[in-house]
Amino acid sequence: MRAVSDEVTSPVRPATAGQTVHHIHQATLVGWESKEMEELAASVGWKRKKMEELPAGTKFNHANRDGVWGGSGQSGYKGEAIWMTSENDVNAARGYAGSSGKYFVIEAQKPLKLAVMDEQGTQVEPDELGAWATLAQRYGLDGVKTEYGSSYEVILFDRSKIAPVEERGFD
């Protein structure tokens, strides 16, 4: 490719010496993609794009109304995504368990890269999973964290980095 001289301009911005037409076109596309990603992130409550990594060994609670690993959650959603609470929040698990009367202790087998929601208490809903899949691919996310003061909820987009380590009943 030939270099673009200082006199040649792009419809977006002036070219500088050493840039190629390909680089200018690529920068234009990246700018468009960034704007689209900004809007998508804002639409699901992640405008600030704060991220956090939880280490392998982090434990969570997961309960569902079926009382089985892989059962449907409170919303009736059944799929690869999983909603979990922090290990210290057994009461939330109790609410999700319904009449099953039990919950699972889940452990991260690998570090988890999470988006952190902008506002405390803003949850990821099942109908937002498509938008989050796009953001996850772009930013390399494993899931999303919602903070609730001293506890939190995590949704993981797939279960490949976690494993159930214990099944417990409620006392």
Question: How far apart are alpha carbons 166 and 160 in whole angstroms?
Answer: 17
pLDDT value at 135 more than 80: yes
Q: Which is more confidently placed, 128 or 31?
A: 128
Confidence at residue 8, expressed as pLDDT on a 0 to 100 scale:
38
pTM of the full predicted structure?
A: 0.76
- Assess whether pLDDT exceeds 80 at residue 12: no
CB 80 within 8 A of CB 160: no
Angstrom distance (rounded) from CA 51 to CA 117: 9
What is the predicted pLDDT for the residue at 57?
98
Q: How far apart are CA 107 and CA 68, in angstroms?
A: 16
Residue range 18-44, pLDDT digits in tens: 444 444 444 444 444 588 889 999 999
State the average pLDDT over residues 84-92: 92
Torsion of CA 29, 43, 65, 85, to 10 degrees: 90
Average pLDDT over all residues of the chain? 81
3-state helix/strand/coil string of the chain: CCECCCCCECCCCECCCCCEHHHHHHHHHHHHHHHHHHHHHHHCCCCCCCEEEECCCCEEEECCCCCCCCCCCCCCCCCCCEEEEECCCHHHHHHHHHHHCEEEEEEECCCEEEEECCCCCCCCCHHHHHHHHHHHHHHCCCEEEEEECCEEEEEECCCCCEEEEEEEECC
Which percentage of the chain shows pLDDT scores above 70?
75
Name beta bridge partners: 81. Answer: none
pLDDT in tens, 44-71: 999 999 999 999 999 999 998 888 887 6
pLDDT of residue 171: 73
Q: What is the pLDDT of residue 33?
A: 57
